[in-house]
Amino acid sequence: MERLLDDQRALVQIRASKAPKSGTLLRLDAGFTAIVLDRRDNLFEIRTDGDQPLLALLEHYGQIPLPPYITRQPTGQDAERYQTVYARHPGAVAAPTAGLHFDEALLERIAAMGVASAFITLHVGAGTFQPVRVERVAEHLMHAEAIEIRAEVCEQILAARNRGGRVVAVGTTAVRALEAASDERGVPRPWRGETRIFIYPGYRFRCVDALITNFHLPESTLLMLVAAFVGRAAIMNAYRHAIEQRYRFFSYGDAMFLTRHPSS
């Protein structure tokens, strides 16, 4: 599943020898059926039959959608580990993996240091794992993802700006959401909707001052984002160091703390 649209409808990926047409009835192994309503690029809009909410069916019959580079089947341990302790709203197909490094004890230590925390939502889509395949980066069609930023979060960021503080994003997910919603002052507006923002070298950041992030796949939009944030030379040096020191990469890997390059 890519994204829930309401209690009965969702955007999904379908693997089949032939793409199903609108009106096709799908009989799923779990025992319920769904109807294909429409096709949206490489995704399909479906509606389930019956009164049971689709989310309840997915939670009962579905599996944790691990990233494609994790080739094993998901386990019960993944259901706990591949989730941040502060997640609240279901709907993403992947965890914002920089957030996996935080537990309740660490969040309490950060608060004791005087660091304020604010929480936003971006439902990570499967497109985040797609490599850039075009010769000209600007021609890459970025996937849409749903974000929600509440008014009180915007007020917290403005207060931090006014007292000379920094905005530290946990994950490229948070960067995309904050930058998509921010005005020229670097303060995000309350937002509930979709974004296709594509951040690559040359982008001028408006909101985020520092970033905690894992090490990303080559030729990915996420690697381009961090290259835009600190500069290509700096991020390549960081990756060389990580390889030499045998850091762990990707979802269950290590994290780095990056500060924004002055020219970014």
| Mean pLDDT along residues 194-205 | 94
pTM (2 decimals)? Answer: 0.85
Query: b/e per residue, 156-166, with b = 16+ CB within 10 A?
Result: bbeebbeeeee
Nearest to 141 by CA among 131, 155, 152, 154: 131
Amino acid, res. 130: Q
pLDDT score of 209: 97
Q: Given 3-state DSSP classes, what are the helix, strand and coil percentages for the chain, each rounded to the nearest 5? A: 30, 20, 50
Residue 219: pLDDT over 80: yes
Residue 189: pLDDT over 80: yes
pLDDT score of 221: 92
> Dihedral, CA atoms, 97, 173, 10, 21, nearest 10 degrees?
-100
pLDDT score of 49: 81
Within the chain, all domains assigned CATH 2.40.30 are found at 3-62
Cα–Cα distance, 189 to 260 (Å, whole number): 22
pLDDT score of 62: 80
pLDDT score of 215: 95
Where does 3-62 sit in CATH, by number?
2.40.30
**What's the pLDDT tens digit per position in 222-262?**
999 999 999 999 999 999 999 999 999 988 899 999 999 99
CB–CB of 147/193 below 8 Å? yes
**C-alpha distances out from residue 258 to 17, 195, 211, Å:** 44, 24, 5
Nearest to 48 by CA among 4, 16, 92, 94: 4
Within the chain, all domains assigned CATH 3.40.1780.10 are found at 78-259
Where does 78-259 sit in CATH, by number?
3.40.1780.10
More confident residue, 179 or 141: 179
Q: Is 1 helix (H, G, I), strand (E, B) or coil?
A: coil
The pLDDT confidence band at residue 18, using thresholds 50, 70 and 90, is confident
- Torsion-angle region of 49 (φ positive above 0: left; ψ -120 to 50: alpha; else: beta): beta
pLDDT score of 260: 96
Instruction: Tell me the β-bridge partners of 4.
Output: 10
Tokens representing 183 are: 């005005």
CB–CB of 92/123 below 8 Å? yes
Cα–Cα distance, 63 to 82 (Å, whole number): 12
**C-alpha distances out from residue 61 to 31, 87, 157, 205, Å:** 9, 21, 40, 41
In the chain, count of helices (H) and strands (E)? 7, 11
pLDDT score of 156: 95
Cα–Cα distance, 37 to 44 (Å, whole number): 7
**If residue 43 lies in a helix (H) or strand (E), which one and from where to where?**
strand 43-48
The pLDDT confidence band at residue 185, using thresholds 50, 70 and 90, is confident
The pLDDT confidence band at residue 11, using thresholds 50, 70 and 90, is confident
**What's the pLDDT tens digit per position in 80-132?**
888 899 988 888 888 888 999 999 999 999 999 999 999 999 888 877 777 88
Residue 66: pLDDT over 90: no
Residue with tokens 């993802």: 145
The pLDDT confidence band at residue 171, using thresholds 50, 70 and 90, is very high
